[in-house]
Chains A and B, each alone.
Chain A
Amino acid sequence: MKKVEFEKIKRPETIKLPYMLDFYPLEDEKNTRTSQFFKNLKEGRFTTTKCKKCNKVLWPPRIVCPNCLSEGLEWIDLGVEGELYAFTEMKLGAPLGFCQDVPFCVGIVKIGGLLISARIDNATYDSLKIGDKVTLKIVELEDRRVFYRFKTK
């Protein structure tokens, strides 16, 4: 039999977190037309868009009102205090990038007339009950991008 060559080849040992595994959106104006949401968040304001024509509050922020197709939208504050509508605690089966935080609480928060999902900090499942007051908290990534969570007092 003819001798066949064997060669060991290498793949990179580490790779930069790829975009397809990054949960956080690209939030600057080069990447989205609703970057104002994140600018407001950096100032401690939790906001969304509202249609000036049909008055519908639109979550998440939009560039066109799906209700009446108007582009005349304005930014409104949803407030910074909400109430727990539902919650659970992630004990097993967290996605990559969140495994290091397990266990942690997630919930649905009633705020500004909306039911918005968010991480709930300073809490365990047993410490929470439906109806608890929660307040806005802002988290910042290494690259300065921001996102919102809520926390108990």
Chain B
Amino acid sequence: MRKVAIVGGGGTRCGKREANFRELVQEAGKAMFENVKNISPKDVEALIVGAAQPERFVFQAHVAPMVAEYLGITPRKVLARTELMCASGQAAIRYAWACVASGMADIAVAFGVEKMFMPDMAEAQTNMACVLDREWDGINALPAPPFFAMTAQRHMYEFGTTKEQMALVSVKNHHYSTMNPLAQFQKETSVEEVLKSPVIAPPFNLFDCSGITDGAAGVVLVPAEMAKKYTDTPMYIVGSGQASIGNVIANLADLTDWIPLKMAAEETFRTAKITLKDIDIAELHDCFTISEIMEYEAFGWCKKGKGGKFIENGEPYIGGTIAVNPRGGLLGCGHPLGATAILQALDILQQFRGEVPKGRHVKDAEVAITHNLSGPANVHSILAYKRS
């Protein structure tokens, strides 16, 4: 296996964009290619495109060759789309990584795109209701918010977590996203504002939930020994972990203890030869406020049930125990499903390069992880990155 580097990337501004699927692809692709030297679209041998539901959101299948065409790429080694719902983009990075590590390709692009705003938003909600097992869970009108609302309810019931503590996660991530030019939301929020935002499914208000988002992003992967040809400041993929238990709600390991996350974290630490203490930046999947709280616990930054206290004490801010989501998270940046993990990777690259605004820059960071959960949190995927 060859060591693999990410040598550049680019993304679109996320949000409710006045642009279609193809235009998002072109915007992100241009930004990506302009960020690496000595690579033109024609040099790309492998293209993996993360896209969760283009068939439903934009009525378009077979999107990998469409993305290739719009980016001017003519893949000669590997071309495919990855779908793993909210982790579709991370799946794209993993397979592009595998292509380069195995020697199947020398220059690979991991791309991600989702166009989620539709003329009738009920349609978008319908699409999200076939993510859980549609015949046994989705049928009960269960897109993500009510499912995670019940997870939050159990966490509050079992551990005394409060709505105010959950709101603090939204406050933190909105704070950091004010300093991210690609973020969907660039305005500070407050606990009061979160608690006063419209009720979606109790205990969730609107600001407990990540947005419906249009966006796209891409990163370029090459063998580590070739990296300096394309940039002075590459970053390296050093490990990963992924685990899945069950799918239908009845067969999940546990609603308030994300065991697959613990398994994926262990495997990440083992393969990257790092410990929890080595991590300087953690981009965690805060699809809902409760998710980030449960992630502090499952990774082990705090004890089970103490995630609420952890945010209350300011521990996941820069300068605290661990900088969690200095990008602004999904809550602040939005969640264009297929693009999210690529945007996380891109932000880590910019953190390492010192290209992010001072207020959200983690100084001298050497090790970072990005995490995505998908479905009813039965699947957890993690990648570990190093600056050198």
Contact = CB atoms under 8 A, between A and B. Distances in A.
Interface stretch (A5-13, A19-27, A39-47): A19-27
Interface in B124-152: 125-126, 128-129, 133-143, 145-146, 149-151
B129 A107 contact: no
B129 A106 contact: no
Nearest to B154: A86
A38 to B, nearest CB: 11
B153 A88 contact: yes
Contact of A23 (B123, B129, B145, B199): B129
A119 B141 contact: yes
Contacts of B206: 92
Interface in A86-123: 86-99, 101, 104, 106-108, 114-119
Interface in B92-140: 120-123, 125-126, 128-129, 133-140
B249 A60 contact: no
Contacts of A24: 139
Nearest to B123: A96
Given A106-B146, A119-B141, A90 B201 contact: yes
A117 B133 CA distance: 11
Nearest to A21: B126
Interface residues of A, number: 37
B75 to A, nearest CB: 30
Contacts of A118: 140
Contact of A95 (B133, B136, B141, B200): B141
A92 B143 contact: no
Contacts of A130: 153, 157
A8 to B, nearest CB: 20
Nearest to A149: B140
A116 B153 CA distance: 16
Interface in A116-148: 116-119, 125, 130, 147
A6 to B, nearest CB: 24
Contact of A117 (B137, B151, B199): B137
Contacts of B151: 86
A60 B146 contact: no
B255 interface: yes
Given A23-B134, A60-B135, A60-B248, A94 B199 contact: no
Contacts, number: 108
Contacts of A85: 154
A107 B150 contact: yes
B357 interface: no
Contacts of A97: 126
Contacts of B146: 88, 90, 106
B51 to A, nearest CB: 18
B300 interface: no
A115 B250 contact: yes
A72 B106 CA distance: 50
A104 B251 contact: no
A20 B143 CA distance: 16
A96 B199 contact: no
A28 B137 CA distance: 20
A86 B135 contact: no
Contacts of B141: 23, 90, 94-95, 98, 101, 104, 106, 119
A21 B55 CA distance: 13
A87 B142 CA distance: 11
A86 B153 contact: yes
Contacts of A104: 141
A104 B141 CA distance: 9
A118 B138 CA distance: 9
Interface string B213-253: 00000000000000000000000000000000000111110
A116 B252 CA distance: 11
Contacts of B154: 85-86
A130 B156 CA distance: 11
Contact of B139 (A90, A101, A147): A147
Contact of B202 (A89, A108, A116): A89
Contact of A93 (B56, B138, B143, B251): B143
Contacts of A60: 133, 135-136, 248, 250
Interface string B175-208: 0000000000000000000000011111110100
Nearest to B155: A86
User: Which A-B residue pairs are the 5 nearest by beta carbons?
Assistant: A86-B150, A95-B126, A88-B149, A98-B141, A95-B129
Given A59-B248, A93-B125, 15 more contacts: A23-B141, A60-B248, A86-B151, A88-B146, A88-B202, A89-B202, A92-B201, A94-B122, A95-B129, A95-B143, A115-B252, A117-B136, A117-B140, A118-B140, A119-B141
Interface of A: 20-21, 23-25, 59-60, 85-99, 101, 104, 106-108, 114-119, 125, 130, 147, 149
